[in-house]
Amino acid sequence: MATITEEMLKEAEAQMHERMAVGPCAASACYDPQRGRIVVILTTDLELSFHPSLIQGLSAATSEDLSEIEVSPSGLGLHFPKIDEDIYLPALLQGALGSRQWMAGLMGKVGGSAKSEAKASASRENGKRGGRPKKVVA
């Protein structure tokens, strides 16, 4: 395990203060079970809400798991103590809902579920030609 030095701590604090100066922070957060959404009130008085299934680490959480949310002292993080999960607010505001691999999986689900007449027609034409070519194992 890596040791955290005093220099590393000061660098992290400097980055935190920079981040707090340029963007909104969380003032409060709660789970709204009626809407099935996490609601975050920002220091700019904007309200952000999202369905937990969109966030890596929260997608399988129950209402009970989400009933307690702690806002970090900096306002840059949300902590869910019942499931020991954390969300970094600046990443959330930039649309990062999880790791690249996890987000790619979400995108694949959306792309694969798209239904249009053009896609259906292309699939029928492909089927007439014998379907998708078999994968060649090297």
Does residue 39 lie in a domain region? Answer: yes
> What's the token pair of residue 91?
């990443």
pLDDT of residue 106: 57
Q: Which domain holds residue 52?
A: 26-104
Does residue 85 lie in a domain region? Answer: yes
pTM of the predicted structure, to 2 decimals: 0.61
Split into its structural domains, the chain has a count of 1
Nearest to 29 by CA among 62, 76, 64, 90: 76
Does residue 136 lie in a domain region? Answer: no
Does residue 11 lie in a domain region? Answer: no
Does residue 4 lie in a domain region? Answer: no
Does residue 46 lie in a domain region? Answer: yes
pLDDT of residue 108: 59
The model's pLDDT over 92-128, given as tens digits with 9 standing for 90+, comes to 887 755 556 655 665 555 555 557 787 777 777 877 8
pLDDT of residue 7: 87
pLDDT of residue 42: 92
CATH code of 48's domain: 3.30.2020.40
Does residue 88 lie in a domain region? Answer: yes
Does residue 81 lie in a domain region? Answer: yes
Which stretches in the chain have pLDDT values below 70?
1, 19-22, 96-114
Kindly list the distances between the CA atom of residue 26 and the CA atoms of 16, 80, 96, in Å, as whole numbers in the listed order: 14, 14, 16
